Structures are given as C-alpha cells and as structure tokens.
A and B are shown apart, each in its own frame.
Chain A
Amino acid sequence: MSTLIEAVDLKQHYPVRQGLLGRQTAAVKAVDGVNLRIHRGEVLGLVGESGSGKSTLGRNLMMMERPTSGAVLYEGSDLAGRSHKALHPYRRKMQMVFQDPFSSLNPRMTVEDSLTMPLRFHQPELSAAQRRDAAAETLERVGLPRSMITRYPHEFSGGQRQRIGIARGLIVRPEFMVADEPVSALDVSVQAQVLNLFSEIRESLGLTLLFVTHDLAVVGHIADRVAVMYLGQIMEIAPTRALFTAPKHPYTETLLSAAPQPTVGARGARIPMKGEPPSPLSPPSGCVFRTRCSHATPECDAAHPELRSRAPGHLSACIRDDISLVPAVSDRPTSPRRKQSA
C-alpha cells in the first residue's frame, strides 16, 4: 500500500507567555514528535481523550495550523514549508469535516453558496450553472434532495447539516479527508446515518480518511487502522481488530475497558485508571503515561519509549514486553449479528 500522507517528527508547541514583556515561560506540547503514515484508500482512526492533541494533529496535516517543527509529506513532498500560495493546489486534494454542524456552515449563505464556494477557487473555468449542477449532484450524493439547495442552514437538522458539511468537502473531489469528531454532536440514531454515509463514500470514492474521535466504538466500526494518542504522542497503532483484541499498550487497555457498552454484565470489570490526565503544560518525565499506568516500573521514569513493532503492522510505545494486557474483546469470530432495521 502506498503512503498518501505522512507526518515526520511533527511537533506543535504553543508558547505560554507571562508577565509584562510576554516572555515565554513554558510551552503546551499539543503534538510532540508524531510519526504517522496514512495509506492511500484507508480509514485511519485517531482516538484519544481531550487534550491528547488528536484534533491538533488533524489540523496540522491539513495545514490549517502550521506545525512548530517537523514535516507533513503529501505524496512525498513537504507541505509544512510551503507558502499560502504554494499550498493552494493541495487544498483541493485535502478537505476537512468539522465537529459542530452549527458553526461549520455560514448561516447567511444558502446551501448552494456554501457548496459552490470551493469550486470558485479551484475550478474557476466552470460557469455558474455548472457549479450549481455540481452542487446539486453532490447534495444528492450525501443523501439530501436537490431541491434543498436554495435553503439556509437554519432550516436543517444537525444530521442534515453534517451531510452538507461533508458535501462541501466532497465537491472538489479530494483524495484525503480529515473528519474531526464529525458525529460527536449528533444524536445516536443520526450518528449511525452519518457513519454509514462515511463508510459509503470512502468505499465508492476511494477516499483516504483520517477519522478523529474520542469514541472507541465509533472508531472500531469505521476504521481500518487505529492510532491511540495520549499527551501529544502516539501510544499505539495497529489494525483495528488487533488493537481491540490484543492491545499492546497499557493506555489502550485502560481506554478500552472504560468504554461503556450497551450490553448486560459489562458493569464494573474495569482496569483502574489512576487520577486524571496530567496537564500538557508539564507532562511527566520519561513515559508520559507512567503516572497513570498500572504496569509502571521505575525504569519507566527514565525511558522515552519509541513506537516499536510488536506484531505485523502493530506498533506500541511501551518498554514492557513482558506484560499481558486484557483485551476489550475476545477474538472469537463474531458476536451474534444484530438486526438491521430498514
């Protein structure tokens, strides 16, 4: 599989300034040395808790925020050093879907204006009528009737708005899409509709997708591979099934065991997680997870665990090879199939 986009030792540090002269006293290390490859045509899930830096990493890859250091390679060429202008051709190839469907659409613009806007800047040769056609077509693509193109965002429900947000991303036919918590603000039943839409478009359009979320069940459903982030670093990255059935990092184990599941008897069987995430302003020395890790040893204070291959395609940033972790899911072939209502 070829690599479409790659992060190389990517860092995003935000200076914290204090005092009259605004001297920099510290830095929030939102993304701290991330190496990540996204293959063409795959869905990579990026999970983490708040403050893990998962959204910032997504924004870095999109060049929405320029990283402090490191490189973002798109098909081998670095984006991080490019000027606003030199990025323009890549803008068409990479698109973003946002979390909040209420703030991602301009309330004073019709759906048509919102959808045709990208075409103005990327296909200026199109006539107004052609743009309008393309917009209507894309709207149908995401499951909304063409006739709704003249409406304003406030006339739509949250799920419909999220579809419009997806349509705006799709209209320029991108290769790569970052979806930042795209279903978190939606009701359960609507969330399923939007997830199904994502599955469907990645299949039919061959889209490469970075799906950023805090919800493990969602990522398990949609992703081919999953990367787990904690305090600006990637803890583990593995094919989805392998991550859920044979986690190699204690953080993944804890995260999986904390995920609430609508099944009877799941209650209480938890791997205890000590305390709360430390402030990204002062991450622990050594392994950043050691302060909450139930398997931490004195060696972890000094170690700087790198991502290491532990199984084919399965990397983990933990120095302890000797521990056996509890999987969230036993690797029996499948659970009883659930009925799908029409």
Chain B
Amino acid sequence: MTTPSSSTTDPVLSVRDLTIRFKARGRETPVVHGIDFDIHGGETLALVGESGSGKSVTSFALMRLLPDARHCTIEGQVNIGGVNLLELTERKMTSVRGPKIAMIFQEPLTSLNPVHRVGDQIAEAIRYHRKMTRAQIRDRVLELLTLVGIPDPERRMSAYPGAMSGGMRQRVVIAMALALEPDLLIADEPTTALDVTVQAQILELLRDIQNRTGMAMLFITHDFGVVAEIADRVMVMYSGRIVEEGRLEDVLTQPRMPYTQGLLSSVPRLEDAGLRTGALGTIEGFVPTAGNLPDGCSFHPRCPHARPGVCDTAMPALEPHGRPDHPVRCLRIEDIAASDMEDLSV
C-alpha cells in the first residue's frame, strides 16, 4: 500500500514487499516485514522509529550494505531507474552506489579515512566513476566543498578529517555523497551526533541542496523535531512494519496510529517551557524484540486503545480508512478517531 504522491512522474525509488531476515544459530528472525514505499524526485521521505524498529536495517538493505546471504536474507524489490538492486551483482552494485544512490551516516568519521586528505577522498569517488582530468576533478571538488558551505575550500581540501569539527566532517561526507549527483540520498540520522546549532545548519544545507538538485531523499531519524524541519512525507515504523504514512502536516497534527500519537505526546514542547504542564505522555512497556513479536498487532500490548479479541488476533493491514493519503495500520481506527485528535493541532 503506497500513497499516491502529488508528483505524477515515476518515483526515483520504489520499494516493494521488502522483507529482511537475520539468520543466527540456524534460526531466521524477520526484522523487516514486507514494506512498500515510493520516493519521487525532489521529495524527502522521513522514516521515523525508535531503536529496534528496523529503520536503519531498511536503509542498509537499500544500499546493499547488509552482511552476506549466510547471515541474512533480503526479499522483495528495490527499484531504481527500472532496475531491481537486489538482483544486481556486487560488481554492478558498485556502479550504482554513487551515481544513483548515496548514503550519509550518523557518525561522519566512519565514512572518512583519517589518513587521507578530505579533498583526495572526494576526488577518489569522482575518479572511480567519471573520466575527468586532474584539473577538472579538482574544480569539481572545490565546487562541491563550496556547495556544502565549507569556508575557505582551497585550504580545507588538503586538511585531514581529524583536524575538522563534527559539523565540518558531516559537510565533507555530504560533499562526497553528492559528488556523483545521486538521484537518491539516504541520510541515516545524519544530525544526531551534532549540536543543535550545527544540526540546524546541516538540515538547512540538505534542504538547500535538494532544492537545487532535485534529488530525492530518504531521511531516517527518531526525532520528530528533525522530521518537521526536513520532511515532505513521513512513514512511522514499528517492529519492522510501517504503521502510518502521510504528509508531514497530517502526521504531525492529526496522527492516526495510537503509537504515533503516543510518540508525539511524549515529546516536550518549547512553547510549554516553564509552564509545568504536568506529566508527559508515555507509552507503557517496551519495543518488542524481533522474533518475539506479540500475536496480532505488534503494538497492542502497549496500546491504550487495544481491545482483547480484536487487536491480539490479527495483524492489521496498512489501509486508508477513509483517507487515501494517510493510511494507518490499526483495526480500531474508526472507534478512536472521533474522540482523540482534534486538540493536537497547533
């Protein structure tokens, strides 16, 4: 079930029935259960979830960065430009990473080699894929460093990653990711390790680059504040399944899934600062571990609206329930919709 986007063009990325299982001690544990989504050019889709929801595993699967078939199996389709990435050889995949799809991570240091100058590292990515002269590559590196807002790029290109701050390193990583003008950028919690002021700068940079290049972006985060800054559409993930999907405004102001409602009510708000608004909303219990999912809806043991005999028997499907652009995975949606949400709007 996917949401028709406002755009009528073909999606840049189209994921169908993506299922990921980890193998350990002869047992297979599903961690992602058949998810579907599309991302169009120029669009940012935020994938939101707590730890253990499967959001990072999903992004790694799209990049084919998961361990080999002995340790995990991936089924379904990841289509980019009419090609299913899951069927490519590792060699072919190498030529897709970079020009088609690129990724940035939470900790920029893991993507940078500490013993090489940052300019050389960006140049390396270009040289591998493009036939360009040294001078052309150098110009391109300078252009990229300027694009990501690194001051004094001429000098910075010969700096080592260790000599840069976290924010600067993340900018370099973004420059590397953008070097080959990918159609899709996957950003896995790229600002989580940064200070708020630097985070604000990086988010603005990503928005700005997207406006200029029209690339699609899959933004993975646990932070609804960041989601509000960057996303056009939001998917909420819980226990390896998408439980709600919709436009940013709809999800933030009229969340339909009790899980999303719980998450949003547990975030302290700046506008309530110092007002002693009482206890924050909470979600009881824990995220279940993959392999120990409860019967029925995975969220029902923690759900304030759960009904025995209904929610613990069948896994609900991700369905529109009257709003085609805002599907939700909840059996009791009609019963709880009326009472609950109008006062959430801001």
CA distance A193 to B282 in the complex (A): 6
Task: Check B270–A256 contact: CB distance below 8 A.
Answer: yes
**Interface of chain B residues 277 through 301 with chain A (CB within 8 A):** 277-284, 286-287
Chain A residues, CB < 8 A from B275: 241, 334
B195 at the interface (CB under 8 A from A): yes
Residue from A157, A187, A267, A341 having most chain B Cβ neighbours under 10 A: A341
Task: Check A340–B278 contact: CB distance below 8 A.
Answer: yes
Interface readout for A223-234 with B: 1 if CB under 8 Å, 0 if not?
Answer: 110000000000
User: How far, in Å, is B93 (CB) from chain A's closest CB?
Assistant: 32
CA distance A217 to B151 in the complex (A): 31
| CB-nearest residue of chain B to A217 | B268
B165 at the interface (CB under 8 A from A): yes
| CB-nearest residue of chain B to A268 | B204
| CB-nearest residue of chain B to A51 | B195
Looking at B1-9, B79-87, B245-253, B319-327, the stretch in contact with chain A turns out to be B245-253
Task: Check A241–B277 contact: CB distance below 8 A.
Answer: no
A137 at the interface (CB under 8 A from B): no
B75 at the interface (CB under 8 A from A): no
CA distance A68 to B204 in the complex (A): 40
A-B CB pair tally, cutoff 8 Å: 186
A188-B50, A191-B266, A241-B273 are contacts. A339–B228 as well, Cβ < 8 Å?
Answer: no
Looking at B34-42, B133-141, B338-346, the stretch in contact with chain A turns out to be B338-346
Task: Check B270–A216 contact: CB distance below 8 A.
Answer: yes
**Interface of chain B residues 206 through 253 with chain A (CB within 8 A):** 207, 222-229, 248-249, 252-253
Interface readout for A159-200 with B: 1 if CB under 8 Å, 0 if not?
Answer: 100000000000000000000000000011101110110011
| CB-nearest residue of chain A to B221 | A260
Task: Check A189–B262 contact: CB distance below 8 A.
Answer: yes
Task: Check B281–A216 contact: CB distance below 8 A.
Answer: no
A196-B282, A336-B345 are contacts. A49–B196 as well, Cβ < 8 Å?
Answer: yes
CA distance A77 to B287 in the complex (A): 47
A74 at the interface (CB under 8 A from B): no
Residue from A189, A200, A216, A239 having most chain B Cβ neighbours under 10 A: A189
Interface readout for A11-38 with B: 1 if CB under 8 Å, 0 if not?
Answer: 0000000000000000000000000000
Residue from A259, A263, A266 having most chain B Cβ neighbours under 10 A: A263
Looking at A83-91, A269-277, A312-320, the stretch in contact with chain B turns out to be A269-277
B263 at the interface (CB under 8 A from A): yes
**Interface of chain B residues 253 through 283 with chain A (CB within 8 A):** 253, 258, 261-275, 277-283
User: How far, in Å, is B240 (CB) from chain A's closest CB?
Assistant: 16
| CB-nearest residue of chain B to A279 | B165
User: How far, in Å, is B165 (CB) from chain A's closest CB?
Assistant: 5
Task: Check B195–A50 contact: CB distance below 8 A.
Answer: yes
User: How far, in Å, is A188 (CB) from chain B's closest CB?
Assistant: 6
Task: Check B258–A341 contact: CB distance below 8 A.
Answer: yes
Chain A residues, CB < 8 A from B340: 339
A260-B226, A336-B346, A341-B265 are contacts. A220–B279 as well, Cβ < 8 Å?
Answer: no
A147 at the interface (CB under 8 A from B): no
**Interface of chain A residues 212 through 268 with chain B (CB within 8 A):** 214, 216-224, 239-244, 254-264, 266-268
A338 at the interface (CB under 8 A from B): yes
Chain B residues, CB < 8 A from A334: 272, 275, 277
Task: Check A266–B229 contact: CB distance below 8 A.
Answer: yes
User: How far, in Å, is A328 (CB) from chain B's closest CB?
Assistant: 5
Task: Check A261–B225 contact: CB distance below 8 A.
Answer: yes
Task: Check B277–A189 contact: CB distance below 8 A.
Answer: no
Q: Which of A222, A255, A340 is the one whose CB lies under 8 Å from B197?
A: A255
A221-B273, A260-B228, A263-B346 are contacts. A192–B167 as well, Cβ < 8 Å?
Answer: no
Chain B residues, CB < 8 A from A244: 270, 273-274
A108 at the interface (CB under 8 A from B): no
Task: Check A340–B200 contact: CB distance below 8 A.
Answer: no
CA distance A342 to B223 in the complex (A): 22
B168 at the interface (CB under 8 A from A): yes
User: How far, in Å, is A187 (CB) from chain B's closest CB?
Assistant: 4
Task: Check B248–A264 contact: CB distance below 8 A.
Answer: yes
A329 at the interface (CB under 8 A from B): yes
Task: Check B226–A276 contact: CB distance below 8 A.
Answer: no
Enumerate 26 A-B pairs (CB-CB under 8 Å) in ascending A order.
Answer: A49-B197, A187-B50, A187-B51, A189-B282, A214-B196, A218-B268, A220-B268, A221-B268, A221-B280, A240-B273, A240-B274, A241-B273, A241-B275, A254-B197, A259-B270, A260-B203, A264-B228, A264-B253, A266-B229, A329-B271, A329-B273, A338-B343, A339-B281, A340-B280, A341-B282, A341-B283
Residue numbers of A with Cβ under 8 A of B are: 49-50, 157, 159, 187-189, 191-193, 195-196, 199-200, 214, 216-224, 239-244, 254-264, 266-268, 270, 273, 275-277, 328-329, 334-342
Q: A220-B268, A339-B341 provided; 18 other pairs, C-beta below 8 A?
A: A157-B286, A220-B274, A240-B273, A242-B274, A255-B197, A260-B200, A260-B229, A261-B270, A262-B264, A262-B267, A264-B252, A266-B228, A277-B165, A329-B270, A334-B277, A335-B272, A338-B269, A340-B265
A-B pairs with lowest CB-CB distance, top 3: A220-B273, A240-B274, A260-B225
